[in-house]
Structure 1
């Protein structure tokens, strides 16, 4: 097999890594290889779990508070929409480059850097008195949060063999689920009874703990050349071109139908410039870069392409649902921010056990396709049933729908993550894991933007047909407060008319989401099987504590992949 250009030029010690599987005995696929974590791995799991909790809490805590945030900062629906979108955009575009930086400069150093960025962004968001400073803080949080998200899974690939990863990464996912569960409830309570600034202040103690834990626990070592050689090896041209182009493209997509018409030059120019720039960046990565930071060989099979595409669609659907379900409950069923957050816990609560059980089964069975297929099937069914959500639906029915949705998403979340790693070749597990988080985050950016535009346009059209104020569509989140409260000067009959129109617009949105989910299920059927039994090979090795048997630790890593 010929050596690829980026493998020849990587300033690392990959050539010193032994091939552990050369004389391996063929394993029994029904029995997972024996591997147990040592003290160092457990400490890293604890640190990654804390960081995962921080970013998941930050992602969902703001959702039920958007109407109050919009009023407090004297903004409109577009600006409130950017409260989430600015975070997602910054999070997505920087992830591949941050993963590459960690390859060159070290996992601990880069992880500490992104935690610092996240902390600074949190402080700026908390003290902001207008949307300009607030969105700057959210963007900085996004860069840090995206880096943390990618680093968590990449570091897991460094210390855990593939077959065991689903089981032990469940520790990080459990922390993520707890933060995601607590976020809507805490955010709703803060929005209803306390200043919204505490949505961000509450993160600071956890950020401080993370800044202490990262240097103490993430003790991974890799032999590296001098700092100048490392700086010279970074693909700065490709990084700047890719990040700038993708930002332009996503900003244009977000503007379309919200701030500007789709046929406006304000929308067309950034989309076209960004799209062309992304193509040029990928061509540079393929043919021009001495050491590309995007490994295009990860898309070397149809199964891999389909798996990454499904990851993108899953991110789009999941965040779109997390954003619009609370808004639907607040407008159609007059839930408060707290009760809508509690209702969202039904979905997120079942995702935790579903994800953990799926991880254990992946390790036990060594296969992943069954989980991907069943997850997309359940998700499609549940999203289609959301069309039944109206003022009169019983609690038993909507809880059943939410439970089904959470189970499906839990199955997908774990299985697709490790499917792309199993499909990766040439010891590219870490790169595959980083690309997975990027594709999922990219889907979140595009999904929320497209769903927001779709919902606003459908709502405006239905308001016009009903003879109601079409401008309400541009401030839907703020208008939810008017529909739920007694203030606002609207007669009960007029409120009922608005609620009916909102209900129909949400029904259109659920049908759109169900179609996307059904398409994802069809695409997932084309994902092929790849073995999850292979050796743990990573340039980033755990520093062995004094008194531990280094040979024993290494031998266990090798045996786990046999």
Structure 2
């Protein structure tokens, strides 16, 4: 990025016109040179803002990534609780809903104070979680952490709008790199906290308090994007508050929350045929349909989201690809640690954590590589087709895994996640480039982020549902004949299977002895490998959809120009003349 100071020569200054309060940002058709001062790219406000974005992302990913591997340990300490699954539900739902709301709100009113508020929520949520003495209190803390994360995982478009379009890939990869520890080695960190600190699992949240605090400090000191006044000359906040799409907000938040709860419940806490699951899906799904109709046909001055974006094939393809790639990370971040603990365990908690971290390490390496290769080589569409295709091949090959294939499985998974990390790094930035209106970066990319999380959530639910159904078949098929052959009485088989699956002691089962336990444990490993095989076959289908979507992408290389959407200003606004947000506010009839 050595020549970034010179890229400003191709930029365009702001022009503002307005009439009444019906204002919309559109692409400038008559561009002039912008005057971003020399040294801006090395200034404290620019570099400090990138630090804020990166540390915020580290806090967001660590908010659940550090907790997920040790949920069982936490449940033993302050549980047990039947509400344990809500720790992940409230976190993912808060992000899915918050991304759209944060994006739209900050497009209108400015980003600074919202992102500072998100960091404050992160600090408070981490403190509450660190002091929790029940799972229910921890759920409350995780809700706050999830709400904070809805601002922090907006990193990709916040970074994208600060750097020239041609450097968006490497710029986003750079901020993502700051979050690498949480993405890559969170199981190692989590297990080390449990094994080597007096506070145990609570140390995870002490770490998060520190990370969120550093992010908060950087947001306050350095991040100064255009304010409401700079965005809307002569307009009042009350005008926008009056015409905000409150009904759309209610339909979107209510519908998505209820629908995702039903999806998360189905096949996990309750059967798909249960009244709870059916009611939530039946209520949430139609509410989202009504929301889409409302956004399309209501004459709204300030709609919550531009639903017409979904008609843009290129942008929608980028969002779908990012969602499918993310589903590999989120889905298999649960599946792979389970495979390690059951099939490939070393008997050492920290070593098992290192094995479980292979998924995240490969993912980070792929994402960082994507930033460099795309900036230098371009050919974004071709790279996405190839990486998704190769990732699908490697992931599908994981179906050959068994308890004796630890090395092979680790290598295949590493290559697969390297490819998908590469694809996700490219597709996420592609959603910013393919966005038709660059002045609605928060609105469009926030909505795209919510769609991305919805896709990855649905895919993860498919993985978990298929796995649970397969385990219900493979465990009795493999374990029952093994323990009967080893001498277990037929009358004790049901109790043995129940204790084995739930983790209860096997020594209390009538007629049990050491040889039976060993035979049952060995058969259990192969039963699980048989069930996991089906998951990898299902993943091939999702990969096929991703390859098809990649063919629908536009020519993104042509969009990688020297244009910069937003630049930062100093504390007192005394250099406002040097601030240029590439937006033009025009009259509408």
TM over 0.5: yes
8 Å Cα contact 2:256-2:288 kept in structure 1:
yes
Partner of 1:242: 252
Q: Cα distance, 1:519 vs. partner? A: 2.8
- 4+ runs of 1 displaced by more than 6 Å? 7-13, 470-475, 480-483, 487-490, 545-553
Equivalent residue runs for 1:239-318 within 5 Å: 239-288=249-298, 289-318=300-329
Equivalent residue runs for 1:44-193 within 5 Å: 44-75=49-80, 79-150=83-154, 152-193=155-196
Give the 3 Å change call, closer, same or farther, for CA 291–456 of structure 1 in structure 2: same
Deviations 1:151-204 (A, max 9, x none): x22322332122111111221110122321231111122234442222212211
Distance in 2, matches of 1:219 and 1:534, equals 24
Moved more, 411-420 or 514-523: 514-523
Moved more, 310-319 or 42-51: 310-319
Does residue 436 in structure 1 map to residue 448 in structure 2? Answer: yes
Give the TM-score taking structure 2 as reference length. Answer: 0.82
8 Å Cα contact 1:59-1:180 kept in structure 2:
no
CA RMSD of aligned residues (A): 3.4
8 Å Cα contact 1:163-1:366 kept in structure 2:
no
Q: Cα distance, 1:90 vs. partner? A: 1.7
Partner of 2:554: 528
Does residue 383 in structure 1 map to residue 395 in structure 2? Answer: yes
Rg larger for: 2
Equivalent residue runs for 1:388-537 within 5 Å: 388-395=400-407, 397-427=408-438, 428-466=440-478, 467=480, 469=494, 479=503, 491-530=517-556, 531-534=558-561, 536=563
8 Å Cα contact 1:115-1:207 kept in structure 2:
yes
Give the 3 Å change call, closer, same or farther, for CA 443–71 of structure 1 in structure 2: farther
Q: Cα distance, 1:353 vs. partner? A: 3.6
Q: Cα distance, 1:243 vs. partner? A: 0.7
Distance in 1, matches of 2:19 and 2:71, equals 50
User: For 1:228, what is the secondary structure of its paired residue?
Assistant: helix
Partner of 1:206: 211
Distance in 2, matches of 1:230 and 1:382, equals 50
Distance in 2, matches of 1:14 and 1:337, equals 54
Give the 3 Å change call, closer, same or farther, for CA 451–479 of structure 1 in structure 2: farther
Distance in 2, matches of 1:203 and 1:408, equals 29
Q: Cα distance, 1:552 vs. partner? A: 7.2
Distance in 1, matches of 2:294 and 2:434, equals 24
Give the 3 Å change call, closer, same or farther, for CA 545–66 of structure 1 in structure 2: closer
8 Å Cα contact 2:106-2:442 kept in structure 1:
no
Partner of 1:221: 226
Does residue 326 in structure 1 map to residue 337 in structure 2? Answer: yes
Partner of 2:356: 344
Distance in 2, matches of 1:10 and 1:321, equals 48
Partner of 1:230: 240
Moved more, 542-551 or 327-336: 542-551
Q: Cα distance, 1:35 vs. partner? A: 11
Q: Cα distance, 1:416 vs. partner? A: 0.5
Partner of 1:370: 382
Partner of 2:13: none
Distance in 2, matches of 1:334 and 1:491, equals 17
Q: Cα distance, 1:279 vs. partner? A: 0.7
Deviations 1:140-161 (A, max 9, x none): 21111122111x2232233212
Give the 3 Å change call, closer, same or farther, for CA 69–309 of structure 1 in structure 2: same
Distance in 2, matches of 1:479 and 1:528, equals 51
Distance in 2, matches of 1:139 and 1:63, equals 15
8 Å Cα contact 1:317-1:517 kept in structure 2:
no
Does residue 356 in structure 1 map to residue 368 in structure 2? Answer: yes
Q: Cα distance, 1:241 vs. partner? A: 1.3
User: Unaligned regions of 5+ residues in structure 2, if any?
Assistant: 1-17, 481-492, 584-589
Give the TM-score taking structure 1 as reference length. Answer: 0.85
Distance in 1, matches of 2:494 and 2:59, equals 40
Distance in 1, matches of 2:364 and 2:574, equals 34
8 Å Cα contact 1:464-1:470 kept in structure 2:
no
User: Unaligned regions of 5+ residues in structure 1, if any?
Assistant: 1-6, 25-33
Distance in 2, matches of 1:183 and 1:272, equals 37
Q: Cα distance, 1:277 vs. partner? A: 0.1
Distance in 2, matches of 1:481 and 1:11, equals 68
Aligned length: 533
